[in-house]
Amino acid sequence: MVEIPAELPRRRDSAPARSARQQPANPRSGFARHYAALDLGTNNCRLLIARPQGEGFAVVDAFSRIVRLGEGLASSGKLSDEAIERTIAALKVCSDKLRRRNVTLARSVATEACRRASNGHDFIARAYDETGIHLDIISAEEEARLAVLGCHALLEPGTGPALVFDIGGGSTELVLIDTRGTVPTVKDWHSAPWGVVSLTESAGGGDSAAERAASYARMRALVRDSFAPFAARLPSPGERPRLLGTSGTVTTLASVHLELERYDRAKVDGLIAPAAAMRRISQDLAGMSISERARFPCIGRERADLVVAGCAILEGILDLWPAERLGIADRGIREGILRRLMEAR
């Protein structure tokens, strides 16, 4: 069991977070101390720069871009040249922000795509040569713990065990925590090899309604099988199971639930949504064509092809841990990294 440090105060001015390796960045005297966390996932590249403020931190700058680093990885076993070029371009933007913001200490992490790709370490070396950013390929366990560290403050109060999950591009992390003490304790965790990119490439597709239904059923079956070892270990969730999700899937579905015309983090981060409503939205989206899904303002063309895989994973989690309410977090790995950096200093 590993204890997680005391939670951050809930902040509406902080942005999502993820994990990385420590990098000093030539601080200048006379400037406020800034810290940075960069999370390079299978689908997104995200940067958060912040300065300490009270018991938490204030966001100074942020960056997020869909790079689809893991595109084609399921079939080829390697990162494609096109995906690498897209990602290097995004990392150059991050590198420029780190220099301009006089970052004192940064950590940059890479997750499932780089863990799985045969050329993952070659990509890491090239990224460092061209951008100066050292990406640390972290384990699935550390990824899960950082996500919990960054978002657990949004859990509903309660005494029973709680499940926190992060649906990524290449994998999904599930963490069972005990919140009865002064700090949460990780009781068990599981990493499933399905995220929105890997699951879409393995089982997605279909033009007709019947083909889409069959595809969604395949996705649900793959997810269920990948969760089976964890399901066998899970204790009873108790009378009032608590569930908290951090990922683009849950924030996107929350935006659809709220009928937002544009994404609004202040309305989404910390939202408690009925699980039945999230399941209904998932099933509705799974039955739509890509063009129909793209008409939702907070889905658009960028997410229309991948969101159904996220829906299948979310339904698998709701089957696993039958909570009536789902907490939504627009924070996670990056915040967890920032907390560790600031506490260490």
- DSSP secondary structure letters along 171-221: -EEEEEEE-SSSS-EEEEEEEES--HHHHHHHH---SSHHHHHHHHHHHHH
- Running DSSP on this structure, what letter comes out for residue 42? S
- Judge whether 331 and 10 are in contact, CB under 8 Å: no
- Asked if the domains 8-141 and 155-329 are classified in one and the same CATH topology, the answer is yes
**Once rounded to an integer, what is the mean pLDDT over residues 86-106?**
96
Residue 7 has pLDDT above 70, yes or no: no
Q: Which of 14-18, 109-113, 117-121 has the lowest mean pLDDT?
A: 14-18
Q: What is the pLDDT of residues 123-147, one digit of tens each?
A: 999 999 999 999 999 999 999 999 9
CA angle (343 as vertex; 163, 267 as ends), nearest 5: 50
Structure tokens at 296: 């939702």
Q: What is the pLDDT of residue 25?
A: 44
Residues 6+ apart with CB under 8 A from 17: 37, 39, 46, 48, 150, 331, 332, 333, 334, 335, 336, 337, 338
Q: What is the pLDDT of residue 159?
A: 83
Third-level CATH fold of 8-141: Nucleotidyltransferase; domain 5 (3.30.420)
Phi, psi of 101 (to 5 degrees): -90, 5
**Strands annotated E in 227-315:** 242-246, 272-274
| Closest to 320 in 3D by CA, of 243, 211, 262, 216 | 243
Superfamily assignment of 155-329 in CATH?
A: Exopolyphosphatase. Domain 2 (3.30.420.150)
Residue 342, Cβ density class (10 Å: 0-12 exposed, 13-18 middle, ≥19 buried): middle
Partners of 175 in beta bridges: 164, 189
CA pair distance 173, 229, nearest whole angstrom: 13
Average pLDDT of every residue of the chain: 89
List the helix and strand counts (H, then E) for the chain: 14, 13
Give the helix/strand (H/E) hosting 104: strand 103-110
Q: What is the pLDDT of residue 12?
A: 31
Q: Which of 6-10, 136-140, 215-219, 284-288 has the lowest mean pLDDT?
A: 6-10
Any idea where the domains of the chain sit in the sequence? 8-141, 155-329
**pLDDT level of residue 20 (50, 70, 90 thresholds):** very low
Q: Which of 90-94, 170-174, 277-281, 339-343 has the lowest mean pLDDT?
A: 339-343
Residue 4 has pLDDT above 60, yes or no: no
Q: What is the pLDDT of residue 54?
A: 83
Q: What is the pLDDT of residue 9?
A: 34
